[in-house]
Amino acid sequence: MGILGGGQLGRFFTIAAQKMGYSVVVFDPDKKSPAGKIADKHICRPYDDKEALDELKKICDLVTTEFENIPAKTLRYLEKDIIVRPEAQAVSIAQNRIKEKRFLKKSGIPIGRYAVIDNFESIKLFNDEIDIFPAILKTAQFGYDGKGQMHVNNVTELERAFIRFNNAPCILEEKLDLDLEFSIVMARSINGDYLEYPLIENQHEAGILDLSIIPARVSSILHKEATKFAKKIASDLNYIGVMAVEFFISNNNLYVNEIAPRPHNSGHFSIDACANNQFDQQVLTLVGSKPKDEEIKFPVSVMLNLLGDLWFRRGEKKSEPNFEMIKSSEISLHLYGKSEPRIGRKMGHITILGLEKQSIEDVIRKAESIRKTIWEN
Ligand code: ADP
Ligand code: MG
């Protein structure tokens, strides 16, 4: 099987696929890609290199992606001759915020107020009194981990931000007052079999996922509603594979934030807490099998992301954090094999599994104390 994109998600996919006996070809232009290092083969070429894509077609029977910014054109080119899951059509919607919003609206999914900003004329329609401000301007494409986003409070700031993004097509979103953020990670087979992991509560720092809490502290009414929306999105997209839907709760109302057409950082708890993790499901749905029942071994868990910032905690000088104290069996450390730590770069994560009788709050406290210890060591 082939995978387009060789980041941390591709690396976990490769591990899952190899465990089931498959060989994996990673296609990623980065020589040092974390997944490329462990794959059976790494094709290190740009995503629009036809000759390299032809080679991928020759070696592989099936291809998937780990990264929504793979050009849809590339997926369409592969689709002509081999199986690509999820299909180009679904990825092309999820990778473009304008198409994504239109799709969600058409499917009857609740979303926050937004406007398309694709030229200066569209900005003229706004004035500071229109109550979309404060708002967030997001580039329609290529954003991730809060990149390609600027908070704007009035028309002047909106104009400045649009110029900063080189007049690229954008979405202007009303900034919602968030009670809580959560995600649904689900898998759907070619026959429409649907599997959903427990809701995942997500806390972000500066637009980057910091902490995930499982199960999310969300009422059963909103849980049911969210599941209904996730199912509807997956079926309207004709989705085959693993997908994450990010939700906001604001003033007790549910909104869909965005769709990720791939496994999701927030689903990493499944590696340690479930019999079958989100990458196992990606492999299974890719080969046309049903997703396997998620069988949760640890009903309560917390995931702590490890960003490159941790490598620079003593100022400018880079130093490897000390993970020595992570010795207990209910704490699991994952490092992604990224050679260059950078501020804001996801380098790894830690999963803290809740033991019997431990409440969510106990596990969160433990996570916070682990974080403190790592930062101080
Ligand atoms: P990314 O592709 O970087 O994940 P998101 O659109 O999910 O982009 O934004 C990242 C984070 O920024 C969200 O998880 C949320 O914390 C915050 N955010 C984004 N949009 C809004 C909004 N409309 N109102 C309030 N907070 C938002
Ligand atoms: Mg997001």
Residue 303: C-alpha distances to residues 8, 94, 200, 209 (Å): 15, 25, 10, 10
Residue nearest to atom 23 of ligand 1 (CA): 175
CA 111 to chain centre: 18
Distance 171 CA to ligand 2 centre (A): 14
Looking at ligand 1, which atom is closest to the CA of residue 147? 3
> Vertex 347, ends 341 and 353: CA angle to 5°?
150
Angle at 369 between CA 354 and CA 323, to 5 degrees: 90
Q: How far is CA 191 from CA 166, 241, 243, 292, 305, in A?
A: 43, 11, 16, 14, 34
The Cα–Cα gap between 190 and 284 comes to: 10
Which of 138, 170, 248, 266 to mutate for ligand 1's pocket (most ligand atoms within 8 Å of CB)?
248
With beta carbons less than 8 A apart as the criterion, state whether 338 and 347 touch: yes
pLDDT of 133 over the 70 cut: yes
Q: Tell me which ligand sits closest to the C-alpha of residue 68.
A: 1
Which ligand does the CA of 204 lie closest to?
1
Question: What confidence score (pLDDT) does residue 315 get?
Answer: 81
Q: Is the per-residue pLDDT at 65 higher than 80?
A: yes
The pLDDT of residue 258: 97
What mean pLDDT is predicted for residues 299-312?
96
- Find the ligand nearest to 145 CA: 1
Looking at the DSSP bridge assignments, the partners of residue 64 are: 3
Model confidence band, residue 325 (pLDDT cutoffs 50, 70, 90):
confident
Q: What's the chain's average pLDDT?
A: 95
Contacting residues for 153 by C-beta, under 8 A, at least 6 apart: 133, 134, 135
The region of weakest confidence among 11-25, 58-72, 124-138, 326-340 is 124-138
For ligand 1, atom 22, name the residue with the nearest CA.
175
C-alpha dist (Å) from residue 88 to 8, 202, 258, 261: 22, 28, 17, 10
Residue spans of beta strands (DSSP E) within 82-164:
83-84, 114-117, 135-139, 149-152
Q: What is the model's pLDDT at position 129?
A: 67
Mutation to probe ligand 1, out of 137, 141, 149 (largest number of atoms < 8 A from CB): 149
Give the CA angle between residues 241, 244, 246 to the nearest 5°: 160
Confidence of residue 127 (pLDDT cuts 50, 70, 90): confident
- Write down the pLDDT at residue 229: 98
- pLDDT 10s digits, 351-373: 999 999 999 999 999 999 999 99
List of E strands, the chain:
2-4, 25-27, 41-43, 62-65, 83-84, 114-117, 135-139, 149-152, 170-174, 180-188, 194-196, 200-205, 208-214, 241-250, 253-260, 301-307, 331-335, 346-353
To test the pocket of ligand 1, the residue of 9, 132, 136 to mutate (highest count of ligand atoms within 8 Å of its CB) is 136
Ligand 1 centre to CA of 138 (Å) is 9
Share of the chain above pLDDT 90, in %: 88
Average pLDDT, integer, range 121-134: 81
For residue 124, how far is its CA from the centre of ligand 1 (angstroms)? Answer: 25
Q: How do residues 150-202 score in pLDDT, each as one tens digit?
A: 999 999 999 999 999 999 999 999 999 999 999 999 999 999 999 999 999 99
Report how far ligand 1's centroid is from the alpha carbon of 272 (Å): 27
Q: Which atom of ligand 1 sits closest to the CA of residue 178?
A: 25
Question: Ligand 1 center to residue 204 CA distance, Å?
Answer: 9
What angle, 0 to 180 degrees and rounded to 10, lies between the N-to-C axes of helices 72-79 and 50-59?
A: 50
> For the sheet containing 149-152, what is the strand order?
114-117, 170-174, 135-139, 149-152
Cα of 286 vs centre of ligand 2, distance in Å, is 24
Percent of the chain clearing pLDDT 70 (strictly above): 99
Residues with CB under 6 A from ligand 1: 112, 136, 143-146, 173, 175-176, 178, 181, 204, 207, 246, 257-258
Residue 334 banded pLDDT, cuts 50, 70, 90:
very high
Which residue of 257, 305, 307 sits with most ligand 1 atoms within 8 Å of its CB, as the best mutation to test the pocket? 257
The CB density around residue 229, as the number of other CB atoms within 10 Å, is 21
Averaged pLDDT for residues 313-342? 88
pTM of the model: 0.97
pLDDT at 329 over 90: no
Q: What tens digit of pLDDT does each residue of 246-271 get? A: 999 999 999 999 999 999 999 999 99
pLDDT (average), residues 294-321: 91
